[in-house]
Amino acid sequence: MLNLVDTWLPWLGDLLELGGPILSLILLIAFVMWSLLFERLYFLSWELPKHLGVVVALWQQRDDKTSWYAQQFRENLQWEVRQGLRRHFPLISTLIKVCPLLGLLGTVLGMLEVFDALAATGSNNARSMAAGISKATVTTLAGMVVSIFGLLGNLVAEGRANAAGDRLAAFFSQTQDD
């Protein structure tokens, strides 16, 4: 796998080597998070309109729209759509919150390497401390960058999901008034 990475993206192998296993974990979390975000955006753009068409057709087929049973049916339809809209957002939010913490863990591990180098050499030799400092810096930066861009992507996806839920609620409140 690393040979494949070195062939296509030689700088990525160097970066992974600098950041250590924490950076690899941050990149894995970023991949999972963006996969979930793209799935949500795909669902909201292409699958949700079809699903809403089915929900609207189910509601409009009902002859009785004012009874208690009709209202329960309407609320159940809305609940199912809202559950579909909210799918994966709690996990995405958790992954966003974990990335800076992993970056801080990488910082701590990098600083431990610096202190080990200081203890081993007995002096303040900059070369012996460079690996630890780079690990601390790279993992912190990666954790923050992944978190910030994940937060922006999550805001876009949640905004679209909330707008779709609001449109559905407006449709049902309009049909209830009719």
Query: So where are the chain's domains?
Result: 20-47+74-158
CA 160 to chain centre: 15
Phi/psi region, residue 66 (left: phi>0; alpha: psi -120 to 50; beta: rest), is alpha
| Residue 131 phi, psi dihedral angles, 5° rounding | -65, -45
CA-CA-CA-CA torsion for 116, 118, 119, 120, nearest 10 degrees?
A: 80
Give me the chain's average pLDDT, please. 88
The 10s digit of each residue's pLDDT in 104-123 is 999 999 888 888 888 877 76
- What pLDDT, on the 0 to 100 scale, is given for residue 1? 55
Higher pLDDT residue, 177 or 86?
A: 86
Confidence of residue 94 (pLDDT cuts 50, 70, 90): very high
CA-CA-CA-CA torsion for 68, 74, 76, 79, nearest 10 degrees?
A: -130
Distance between CA atoms of 98 and 16, rounded to whole angstroms?
Answer: 19
- What pLDDT, on the 0 to 100 scale, is given for residue 20? 83
- What pLDDT, on the 0 to 100 scale, is given for residue 178? 57
